[in-house]
Chain A
Amino acid sequence: MSGYVITILTQIVIQAIVVCGLNVIVGYAGQISLGHAAFFGIGAYSAALLSTQAGMSFWTALPLVLLICALCGLLLGLPSLRLKHDFLAITTIGINFIVQAIFLYVPFFGGALGISAIPRISFLGEPLRGQNFLYLCLACLAVVTFICWLFTRMFAGLACFALREDESAATSMGISPVRFKLLAFMLGTMMAGLGGSLYAHYMRFVSADDFSFPLSVGFLAMLVLGGMGTLLGPIVGALILGALPELFRPLAEFRILFYALMLLLMIRFQPGGILGESSLVRKRLFPLFMGGRK
Chain B
Amino acid sequence: MQLFIEQILNGLAMGSIYAIITLGLALVYGVMRILHVAHASVYTVGAYAGVFIFQSTGSLALAFLGSMLLCSVLGVLIERLVYFPLLKCPPYVPLIASIAVMLTIEEVLRLLAGPQIITFTAKLPFPDLDLGGIHLSSTLIAIYVITIAILLFLWWLTTRTEIGLAMRATSQDMAIAGAQGINSHYIVSLTFVIGSAIAAIGGILVGIYYNQVYPTMGAVPAYKTLALIVVGGMGSVPGAVIAALLLGLAETLLIGYLNVPFPRDALAFVAMIGVLVWRSEGLMGSK
The chain A residues found within 8 Å of chain B, CB to CB, are 26, 32, 34, 79, 82-83, 85-87, 89-91, 93-95, 97-98, 100-101, 104-105, 213, 217, 220-221, 224, 253-254, 256-257, 259-261, 263-264, 267-268, 271
Whether a CB of chain A sits under 8 angstroms from the CB of B242 is no
Q: Is the CB of A93 within 8 A of B226?
A: yes
Q: Is the CB of A264 within 8 A of B101?
A: yes
Q: How many residues of B contact A (CB 8 A)?
A: 39
Kindly list chain A residues whose C-beta atoms are within 8 Å of the C-beta of B280. 82-83, 87
* Distance from B252 Cβ to chain A, minimum over Cβ atoms (Å): 18
Q: Is the CB of A268 within 8 A of B263?
A: no
Please tell me which one of the listed residues A82, A224, A259 contacts residue B96 in the complex, with CB atoms under 8 A apart.
A224
CB pairs A–B below 8 angstroms (17 shown) = A86-B33, A86-B230, A87-B230, A90-B227, A94-B227, A97-B269, A98-B266, A98-B273, A257-B108, A259-B103, A260-B104, A260-B107, A261-B100, A263-B96, A263-B103, A264-B104, A268-B82
Main secondary structure of the interface of B (DSSP, over half): helix
Q: Is the CB of B92 within 8 A of A86?
A: no
Q: How far is the CA of A261 from the CA of B99 in the complex (A)?
A: 11
B194-231 with Cβ < 8 A to chain A: 223, 226-227, 230
Kindly list chain A residues whose C-beta atoms are within 8 Å of the C-beta of B103. 256, 259-260, 263
Q: Is the CB of A90 within 8 A of B226?
A: yes
B256-287 with Cβ < 8 A to chain A: 261-263, 265-266, 268-270, 272-273, 276, 280
Assess A261 versus B104: contact at CB under 8 Å? Given A89-B35, A90-B227, A268-B82. yes
Q: How far is the CA of A91 from the CA of B227 in the complex (A)?
A: 8
Whether a CB of chain A sits under 8 angstroms from the CB of B91 is yes
Kindly list chain B residues whose C-beta atoms are within 8 Å of the C-beta of A86. 29, 33, 35, 91, 230, 234
Assess A264 versus B226: contact at CB under 8 Å? Given A253-B111, A254-B111. no
Kindly list chain B residues whose C-beta atoms are within 8 Å of the C-beta of A254. 111
Q: Is the CB of A98 within 8 A of B269?
A: yes
Kindly list chain B residues whose C-beta atoms are within 8 Å of the C-beta of A85. 91
> Which residue from chain B places its CB closest to the CB of A30 in the assembled complex?
B90
Whether a CB of chain A sits under 8 angstroms from the CB of B86 is yes
Q: How far is the CA of A263 from the CA of B104 in the complex (A)?
A: 10
Q: Is the CB of A268 within 8 A of B266?
A: no
Kindly list chain B residues whose C-beta atoms are within 8 Å of the C-beta of A221. 96, 100
Q: How far is the CA of A267 from the CA of B91 in the complex (A)?
A: 12
Q: Is the CB of A267 within 8 A of B226?
A: no
Q: Is the CB of A90 within 8 A of B270?
A: no
Kindly list chain A residues whose C-beta atoms are within 8 Å of the C-beta of B95. 32, 34, 89
* Distance from A208 Cβ to chain B, minimum over Cβ atoms (Å): 10
- 16 additional A-B residue pairs with CB within 8 Å, beyond A83-B280, A94-B273: A32-B95, A82-B280, A83-B276, A86-B33, A93-B226, A97-B265, A98-B269, A98-B273, A101-B263, A213-B223, A217-B96, A221-B96, A224-B96, A260-B103, A260-B107, A261-B100
Q: How far is the CA of A97 from the CA of B93 in the complex (A)?
A: 22
Kindly list chain A residues whose C-beta atoms are within 8 Å of the C-beta of B268. 94
Whether a CB of chain A sits under 8 angstroms from the CB of B132 is no
* Distance from A95 Cβ to chain B, minimum over Cβ atoms (Å): 8
Q: How far is the CA of A175 from the CA of B101 in the complex (A)?
A: 38
Q: How far is the CA of A260 from the CA of B109 in the complex (A)?
A: 13
Q: How far is the CA of A257 from the CA of B102 in the complex (A)?
A: 11
Q: Which one of A32, A86, A257 has the greatest number of beta carbons of chain B within 10 Å?
A: A86
Whether a CB of chain A sits under 8 angstroms from the CB of B133 is no
Whether a CB of chain A sits under 8 angstroms from the CB of B85 is yes
Q: Is the CB of A268 within 8 A of B270?
A: no
Whether a CB of chain A sits under 8 angstroms from the CB of B97 is yes
Q: Is the CB of B230 within 8 A of A90?
A: yes
**Binary interface profile of B, 11-32, with partner A (CB < 8 Å = 1, else 0)?**
0000000000000000001000
Kindly list chain A residues whose C-beta atoms are within 8 Å of the C-beta of B230. 86-87, 90-91
Whether a CB of chain A sits under 8 angstroms from the CB of B89 is yes
Q: How far is the CA of A264 from the CA of B100 in the complex (A)?
A: 5
* Distance from A51 Cβ to chain B, minimum over Cβ atoms (Å): 27
* Distance from A40 Cβ to chain B, minimum over Cβ atoms (Å): 18
* Distance from A293 Cβ to chain B, minimum over Cβ atoms (Å): 28
* Distance from B168 Cβ to chain A, minimum over Cβ atoms (Å): 20
